[in-house]
Amino acid sequence: DSPYPTDIREYLYKILVIGDLGTGKTSIIKRYVHNIFSQNYKSTIGVDFALKVIQWSPDTVVRMQLWDIAGQEKFSGLTRVYYKEAVAALVVYDVTRPKTFEAVPKWKADLDSKVSLPGGEPIPVVLLANKTDLKDETSTSLDPEEMEQFCEDNGFVKWFGTSAKDNRNIDDAARFLLEEIMNRE
């Protein structure tokens, strides 16, 4: 009898994190992967990478390869290269800056035009309304019904109000996205 488990399943998923400049993409990833936060803003140049390894179940390990794409890449033409073979994405906006919300459909359309699942369906995308620590959540811009309608209209599987600063909802959003990925396998 072998002392080693024979049926460990391992998955590697490429996940994109996109959205306008300064919305908190890097901060969300740093919070999720390293549990740290900094107020200092160092804009990402091009793309950064982070790996989060998750023991999903006793016999399943998931490696999330997070592609932290600079907000300024929106108009660079490089997104096609970065998006290649991604299986899911997070689109991040800043609840204190409506312009970053207005840009969300552009990011989504750019994504859908450049990447899809092997079967041709769009990749699952979760919308993150970030920096909720700075805003009263009862304000109209985060009305849950409106947000749900926005998700339906724009093809997001779900939205979460997050704060990288307060570590709010980031684990839940990531877990939800992983479930969506694994349900499509």
**Binding window for ligand GTP (CB under 6 A); candidates: 53-61, 104-112, 161-169, 177-185:** 161-169
Q: Where are the alpha helices (DSSP H) in 76-166?
A: 79-83, 98-102, 104-114, 144-154
Residue 44 engages ligand GTP in binding (rule: CB under 6 A): yes
- At 66, give phi and psi (nearest 5°): -95, 125
**Residue 100 binds which entry of ligand GTP, Mg ion, none, CB below 5-8 Å type-dependent:** none
Residue 36 engages ligand GTP in binding (rule: CB under 6 A): no
Residue 163 engages ligand GTP in binding (rule: CB under 6 A): yes
Binders of ligand GTP in range 70-99 (CB under 6 A): 70-71
Cα dihedral across residues 110, 113, 114, 117: positive or negative:
positive
Binders of Mg ion in range 13-32 (CB under 5 A): 25-26
Residue 27 engages ligand GTP in binding (rule: CB under 6 A): yes
Identify which of 18, 19, 15, 16 has the alpha carbon closest to the alpha carbon of residue 103.
19
Q: Which amino acid is at 55?
A: Q
Q: Which single residue is written with the structure tokens 């479930």?
A: 179
Residues 6+ positions from 57 with CB-CB distance below 8 Å: none
Residue 41 engages ligand GTP in binding (rule: CB under 6 A): yes
**Binding window for Mg ion (CB under 5 A); candidates: 1-9, 41-49, 107-115, 167-175:** 41-49
